[in-house]
Chains A and B, each alone.
Chain A
Amino acid sequence: MSKRVFIKNNAFYLTVFMGFIVTALIFLLIGTVKLEEKLNNEILKVSTDDIKAISNNMAHNISSILKEKYGETDSNIKDKVLEDNILHQAIEVIISPILTKNIKYSYIVYKDERDIFRYLVDVSYIDKMELGQKFDADSKEWLEIYDIKKSITIKHKHIKELSISYLTPILYKDEVVFIFAIDFSVDKIIEIAAIVNLIQYGLFGTVFIMLLFIIFYMLQLIKNYRVKQSTYIDALTSVYNRKYLEEFEKFVNLNNYVLCVLDIDRFKEVNDTYGHDVGDKVLRDVAKLIVKNYRINEDVLIRYGGEEFCLFLKKDRASQMSTLSVIDRLYNELKNTTFSVGHDKFIHITLSVGINMHPYESRNFHEAFKLADEALYLAKKSGRDKVIIYPDVEYMVENS
């Protein structure tokens, strides 16, 4: 039935729409997570690049001082530096200015003969350590820097107070003798997170508004579809109406259909005898019966007017006669059906049917319909309860 088809189509569109929304949300989720990560990294990079450059300069200055003070080839440089308190003070003066609200700790460490890290200088305001005090390095990068001899950034995942550490090698004779380290507090990350959140909210807001627009658009589409549906559906029988036929004939390919015109026999008598309410009920029941027997996704039933229906049967390419099995089934069921007319009274109803087997041979739908209607006229004229097929085959089913 057309209403069922509509509901089916509607459910399909709603499923597609919901699928679209869910997919969009998943993509949004993945996208924002990636965007957040990328933004975090980029902003962190931009906001720490200058500090890192300053840190590199400081390490370079300290290297220069070592070379200036001890020459370029001293083989015992580490021990000499460890004993040189004046140099410690000079180094403290160099690395102190880097401490800010975001740079929590600034210190220089060295590796002893047991490969244990110890403090040379620590200018941190809190947790300040003494010369020679052990430093438990917390990641492999502290050792790697001795091989790569270049600055390394360590991102802390397990230390809650620190976001990153930046290690700069202090070189002497092209070897790493000390490591200048600065620890960035999480405050920087929190500030960055606040900026990223702001961007995220903006993004969410934009996407939310877009989704609202899409939802409104979809609702409008559904509303339009419903309005159209109510325009094209006959209120009494719930099948397509004449208005729909006017649209349908514009795009229907008659090559694919057999055109049938069905008319309820002696319907006027039903109306006159039992009243229009009973007549309406009989019309509804006959329409239901036709719908029950046609192929829901292939055939099209239209109430042409009064008690007359127009049925487009989708052609079975293998056999023309098998297409007409719909009519066979309908006639058989009609034969075994009685229609209530009230007060426990039932009547039999018969149909006359005119069929145009080759509607595509006509120039347009109206001509094709005219031929089917002529066949219907013949069926009526020859005693009703008959099927007349145009042009050449007479296919007759009698209901008695």
Chain B
Amino acid sequence: MRSIIFILIVASYVFGSSYVFLMEKNLDEKELEAKIVSKIGQDALGRDIAVYIPNANDTLKNTYKKFCKVVDDCKEADLIFTPSCEFVNKECQPQNKIVLSSNYKDFKKNDNILGVFFWSKARPNIVISGKRMKKFNIKLPDSYSQFIE
């Protein structure tokens, strides 16, 4: 019995780290994204928000649900977080809704997108358009100044 416990201790110590590495992979990035996106929405509207993410799977929705309400119909949403501006134009009219994108090029060419959150060089990047903030009459706290272009 002692030998089995000893072998288990040694084995778990030797092989343990690699499993932890695999389990944590990709988990934090989505959590950080959900946290940032929902915080921008909450700070812009000054209240809890409902977020709509087109084509989101259950895992992604559950991650977002830790920080905000997630809705399945874009009409019920306060904030739309989309990777594609085509979606915003065709399927969901963004009146009275904050639209954030995960695509920098889309953000640049679509005036309806307030800001962008994307990963570049393994780092999170946030850019919010100051011009569009004025257009949508949105105000954000001073702490956002470094992200406003």
User: A residues touching B (Cβ–Cβ < 8 Å)?
Assistant: 25, 29, 104-105, 107, 114-116, 124, 127, 129, 134-136, 138, 158-162, 183, 200-201, 204, 208
A159 in contact with B120 (CB, 8 Å): no
**What's the least CB distance linking B71 to chain A, in Å?**
29
Whether B127 is near chain A, meaning CB under 8 Å from some CB there, is yes
Residues of A within 8 A of B120 (CB): 127, 129
Asked if residues A162 and B122 are in contact (CB atoms below 8 Å), the reply is: yes
CB distance from B31 to the nearest CB of A (A): 12
Is B59 positioned at the interface, with any CB of A under 8 Å from its CB? Answer: no
B14 contacts A25, CB within 8 Å?
no
Is B29 located at the chain interface by the 8 A CB criterion?
A: yes
> In the complex, which residue of chain A has the Cβ closest to the Cβ of B27?
A160
A136 B122 Cβ-Cβ under 8 A = no
Contacting residues, chain B, for A129 (C-beta < 8 A): 120-121
Is B109 among interface residues, defined by CB-CB distance under 8 A?
no
CB of B122 within 8 A of CB of A160, answer yes
In the complex the two chains form, what is the Cα distance from A127 to B104 in whole Å?
11
Question: Which residues of B in the span 80-111 have a Cβ within 8 Å of any Cβ on A?
Answer: none
**Cα(A136)–Cα(B128), bound, Å:** 13
- Complex CA distance for A200 and B28, rounded to whole angstroms: 29
Q: Would you call B146 an interface residue if the criterion is a C-beta within 8 Å of the partner chain's C-beta atoms? A: yes
| Ranked 10 nearest A-B pairs via Cβ | A161-B122, A127-B120, A159-B122, A105-B121, A162-B122, A127-B121, A136-B125, A138-B123, A116-B146, A134-B127
Number of B residues, CB within 8 Å of A: 20
The answer to whether B125 and A134 have CB atoms under 8 Å apart is yes
Complex Cα distance A159/B124, Å?
Answer: 9
Q: For the complex, what is the distance from the CA of A159 to the CA of B145, rounded to whole Å?
A: 24
Q: List 12 A-B contacts (CB under 8 A).
A: A25-B6, A104-B121, A114-B145, A127-B121, A134-B127, A134-B147, A134-B149, A136-B125, A136-B126, A138-B123, A160-B29, A162-B122
Q: Are A136 and B124 in contact (CB under 8 A)?
A: yes
Q: Which residue of A lies closest to B17 (CB)?
A: A193
Which among B13, B14, B122 has the greatest number of chain A C-beta atoms within 10 A? B122
Docked complex Cα distance between A183 and B121 (Å): 8
Q: What are the interface flags for B125-149 relative to A under an 8 Å C-beta threshold, 1 for contact and 0 otherwise?
A: 1110000000000000000011101
CA distance A52 to B26 in the complex (A): 29
Q: In the complex the two chains form, what is the Cα distance from A160 to B146 in whole Å?
A: 24
Instruction: Tell me, rounded to whole Å, the shortest Cβ–Cβ distance linking B148 to chain A.
Output: 10
- Cα–Cα, bound, A221→B70 (Å): 69
A105-B122 Cα distance, complex, nearest whole Å? 10
Flag if B14 contacts A204 (CB, 8 Å): yes
Interface residues of B in 1-57 (CB under 8 A from A): 6, 9-10, 13-14, 25, 28-29
The CA of A115 and the CA of B146, in the complex, are separated in Å by 8
